[in-house]
Structure 1
Amino acid sequence: MANQILLLTTFLAMTCALVIAFEPSPLQDFCVADTTSSVTRVNGLPCLDSKLAQADHFFFSGLHIPGKTSNPVGGVVTPVNVVQIPGLNTLGISLARIDYAQWGVIPPHTHPRATEILTVLEGSLYVGFVTSNPDNKLISKVLYTGDVFVFPVGLVHFQQNVGKGNAVSLSSLSSQNPGVNTIANAVFGANPSISDDILAKSFQVDKTVISSLQAKF
């Protein structure tokens, strides 16, 4: 009997953990984000009084404007999430336009709170994601205009322009605030820095290599 109770308790705890791991369905028509509120944030932003809602709270303009790709990686993201559209608060969805210079990349990264579905609008992209330990299987494909690819929530993924000119894609994400954790920035650009002893052993390279990488981030 005790074992059954323990099993039931464990199951309920796991179920609750899964429920709170994703954005819940809203219980009202909308919850426009009140970015000026000092109320403690639990999941998302506090709601603006619905009587104060305006069309501009649900509107964004500029996704047709190319992003500037003159950076070291040759790729840039134009996000359209709850920061740009306060009306997305609690609705569990967002967008991003991604521009790529020739051979430009969006480096390996994760979205801790969202699955991403990417559509190529222009050019061709080499994309992929890596499955969890212990397999770490690379699942990748070259995409062309009109092709669609899915990056499951939390998995490391990347994109590279492999065409002869610029490329553009549009991503939909299953969170109002999907978050992004770029692997190189997180590992080599942590503040304060991760110990070079830890990184040297983890990557099995000399500390001088780690120091050089940290200096870039």
Structure 2
Amino acid sequence: MIGLRAAGAGAIAALASSGTALAAAAQQRKILVVGDSLSAEYGLPRGSGWVALLEARLAAHKPAYTVINASISGDTTSGGRSRLPALLVQHKPSHVVIELGGNDALRGLPLAMTEANLLAMAQAARAAGAAVMLVGMQVPPNYGQAYSRDFAGLFGKVAQRERAALVPFLLAGIADASDAQKWFQPDRIHPTAQAHPRMLENVWQVMTGWLGRG
């Protein structure tokens, strides 16, 4: 009887330990999104941006994920690089999504600087134990063929070097659509709320396999 009781107590302790481990793992499933106005719902009703839509989709995901949107309108890769260390300490994410670079291009900043900042961010996130996803952007041809090509390509270069997941172009099917104008706000820079479900799908195609990493 004593042996049976001891075995039972051991089983209960093992189950309790397993439950604690599972709870801890669930707490660590955090996706930190560091982006600019495309992720910060600029000009949109609250809750209609792609990050909010992602959070709603993941709410039904088993196991569940917490989404932290640390995006700031107007932010550049330099801004993201300076903010990221504190965010990693504060939130301890298992996954980090980096959606930055568009404002670098709008300001005509050197491509080498943008690439270096993205590289540093990816390395910092990986050093903190998080899986990394880069969300690529493109600029119109009027920026010059060489600049447009090299800007679009730098996201892939960083992703390959740092073994990060890559969304080639967040605005695929929107900015390059034949009816692109209807998908943008009057400033012709920021997508409308109707465009954000498509933006989510562009991310989700890559994210489904990426969530197992980290």
Common topology (TM > 0.5): no
- Higher strand content, 1 or 2: 1
TM-score by length of 1: 0.29
TM-score by length of 2: 0.29
